[in-house]
Amino acid sequence: MEVEIKELLADLQSLNQSLLDPSLHASLHKIQSRVEHLANLAKAEPVRRSKVQDMSTEVVDSNPYSRLMALQRMGIVENYERIRDFSIAIVGVGGVGSVAAEMLTRCGIGRLLLYDYDKVELANMNRLFFRPDQVGMTKTDAAVETLSDINPDVVLESYTLNITTVEGFETFMSSLKNKSFSPSKEGSGVDLVLSCVDNYEARMAVNQACNELSQTWLESGVSEDAVSGHIQLLIPGETACFACAPPLVVASGVDERTLKREGVCAASLPTTMGVIAGLLVQNTLKFLLGFGQVSPYLGYNSLKDFFPTMQMKPNPQCSNVACLTRQEEYALAKPARDAAAKAKLDAEPQSTEEGPLHDDNEWNISIVDDCEPEGPDTRSSDVLPEGLTHELPSADEFQKLPTEAPVIDNDDLEDLRKQLEAINSA
C-alpha cells in the first residue's frame, strides 16, 4: 500500500510539471494533499483505546460508555456502572456464545469467563463474530483476541476444555468458585452462567455444576434445523432444573415428517443465532441490573415469528440429587421469603383506600386469584403450552425390586477387567 501511494505521488508530480493549463494546478494540488493524507493514515498504527478508569456519563464522541450511561438518565437502569462488578461465565463460544460475549464486552461487563474446546473453522463463517484469519485458533483464544481489542476494560479468562469430561468438569467447577475478582461476593465467584452449548451432554454438565453450586444460570439453544430457539432461566431449587423434565424444544410448526434429516446433523443461520444471543444477553442485563422482567422460558419459532413463554416448577422426583437438595433448601427458606415479601409490601407507602372500581355489580363478577399455591407440583411440567414439545422421552419407571436386602456384589473389578481382556485377546 505504501509503495502504491508513493508511486501515485510521483505520477502526480510529473503530471503537475507537464501540465500547461495553470487553472488545473489548484485541483491537482488538492489531489496531492489528499494522497499525502492517505499516506499518513496508512502509516499510523491501528488505534487501540486505553482502559477507562470510571464510566463517565459525559456525552462526547470519545466516551465508549456514553450511550449506555444514558440508560440511567432515562430511568431504565438505576445504576449502570454496577455492570463492572459482575462476572459472567459463557460456556460454549460458538454461534450464540461468541455473539453474547461481544455484546457483554461492548456493554462493559466486569469479567467474562469463556469455555470451549473447539477451534475456529471455515465452516463457522456463516455465523457472526469469528473472522477467516482466525481459522485454526482455539475459539477461546480467538475470542479473547477480538474482545480485548473491542474493550480492554473487560477482564477475560479463557478455558480451553471439555466440561463433560471428569478433568474438564473439575476445572470448570473450581473456576466458577474462584472469588479473586470480587472477594466479598456471596455464593460462587460468578453472577450468572450462560449456557451457549450445542448439545444435551454439555447442558447436563452445566446443570450439574450449577445445581451443586446453587448457581443461577441461563440456558440457550438453537434447533438443529436452525429455524427455532429458546432461552430459559434456571434457579436451582426454585425453577425446574435441566434434568427435572426432558428438554423442551420449540416445535418448528411444519410437519416433522416432511423435514429432511438425511445426510446432515446440523444447519445454522447467523440470524437465528443472533436473535437468541440478543434475547439471552437482554435477559442477562435485566437480571444483573434489576430492570424489567427476566423470562423464565422464552421460545422463538422463526417460521411463524411466534414466541411461546412458560414457567416450570422443579420436579420433586428429579433424578438429579443436587437438584433435590436445592429444592429442600428452597422450601425451608419459605418463611424467610414470605417475611421479606411482607416487609417490602409494608415499606411501600400504602395507597389510600380505594373505593370500589364499579359501583354496581349486576352480574356478581369477581376477580379470582389464579396463582397456584406454592408447593411441589407434579403436573406443571407435563402440560406444555402450544408450540412447545419435549425433545426426549422421560425414563421409563424403573422397576424396583421388592424391598429385599440389596444384592451385594462380591465380584472384583480387577477380575472383571481381566476377564474382558482375556475375551478381547482370544
Q: Is 305 in the site for another protein (CB under 8 A)?
A: no
Which residues in 320-349 contact another protein (CB under 8 A)?
Answer: 320
C-alpha–C-alpha distance, residues 107 and 156, integer Å: 14
Which residues in 83-102 contact another protein (CB under 8 A)?
Answer: none
Catalytic residue among 265, 318, 323, 371: 265
Q: Is 411 in the site for another protein (CB under 8 A)?
A: yes
Cβ-based nearer residue to another protein, 25 or 261:
261
C-alpha–C-alpha distance, residues 222 and 266, integer Å: 10
Q: Is 36 in the site for another protein (CB under 8 A)?
A: no
Cβ-based nearer residue to another protein, 34 or 261:
261
CB of 231 to another protein, least distance (A): 21
Cβ-based nearer residue to another protein, 150 or 204:
204
Which residues in 198-217 contact another protein (CB under 8 A)?
Answer: 199-201, 204-205, 207-208
CB of 425 to another protein, least distance (A): 9
Taking Cα atoms as reference points, which of 353, 391, 106 lies closest to residue 243?
391
Beta bridge partners of 234: 217
Q: Is 316 in the site for another protein (CB under 8 A)?
A: no
Cβ-based nearer residue to another protein, 203 or 230:
203
Taking Cα atoms as reference points, which of 167, 242, 166 lies closest to residue 208?
242
CB of 154 to another protein, least distance (A): 28
Q: All 3 cell numbers of residue 110?
A: 466486569
Piece in contact with another protein (CB under 8 A), picked from 22-30, 83-91, 105-113, 193-201: 193-201
Q: Is 393 in the site for another protein (CB under 8 A)?
A: yes
Q: What is the DSSP letter of 408?
A: P
Q: Is 309 in the site for another protein (CB under 8 A)?
A: no
Piece in contact with another protein (CB under 8 A), picked from 127-135, 141-149, 186-194, 387-395: 387-395
Q: Is 265 a residue of the active site? A: yes
Which residues in 9-28 contact another protein (CB under 8 A)?
Answer: none
- φ, ψ for residue 309 (rounded to 5)? -125, 155
Size of the site for another protein (CB under 8 A): 41
Q: Which residues contact residue 139 at a Cβ distance below 8 angstroms, ignoring those fewer than 6 apart?
A: 93, 94, 98, 116, 118, 119, 120, 130
CB of 68 to another protein, least distance (A): 36
Question: Considering only residues 98, 138, 158, 164, which one is a binding residue for another protein as defined by CB under 8 A?
Answer: 164
CB of 411 to another protein, least distance (A): 5
Q: Residues 235, 283: contact at Cβ < 8 Å?
A: no
CB of 260 to another protein, least distance (A): 12
C-alpha–C-alpha distance, residues 128 and 96, integer Å: 9
Residue type, 168: G
C-alpha–C-alpha distance, residues 65 and 59, integer Å: 9
Q: Residues 98, 144: contact at Cβ < 8 Å?
A: no
C-alpha–C-alpha distance, residues 387 and 299, integer Å: 9
Which residues in 240-299 contact another protein (CB under 8 A)?
Answer: 243, 246, 261, 263-266
Q: Is 413 in the site for another protein (CB under 8 A)?
A: yes
Cβ-based nearer residue to another protein, 8 or 204:
204
Q: Is 394 in the site for another protein (CB under 8 A)?
A: yes
Taking Cα atoms as reference points, which of 217, 380, 222 lies closest to residue 294?
217
Residue type, 347: A
DSSP string of 68-125?
Answer: HHHHHHTTS-S-GGGGGG-EEEEE--STTHHHHHHHHHHTT-SEEEEEE--B--GGGT
Q: All 3 cell numbers of residue 90?
A: 459463557
Q: Give the three-state DSSP class for 377.
A: coil
Q: Is 319 in the site for another protein (CB under 8 A)?
A: yes
> What Å distances lie between residue 318 and 156, 237, 242, CA to CA?
35, 11, 10
Q: Is 370 in the site for another protein (CB under 8 A)?
A: no
Question: Considering only residues 13, 126, 165, 271, which one is a binding residue for another protein as defined by CB under 8 A?
Answer: 165
Question: Considering only residues 8, 39, 57, 118, which one is a binding residue for another protein as defined by CB under 8 A?
Answer: 118
Q: Residues 125, 132: contact at Cβ < 8 Å?
A: yes
Piece in contact with another protein (CB under 8 A), picked from 58-66, 164-172, 180-188, 250-258: 164-172
- Residues annotated as catalytic are 265
Q: Which residues bind another protein (CB under 8 A)?
A: 118, 121, 162, 164-166, 169, 199-201, 204-205, 207-208, 224, 243, 246, 261, 263-266, 319-320, 392-396, 398, 409, 411, 413, 416-417, 419-421, 423-424, 426
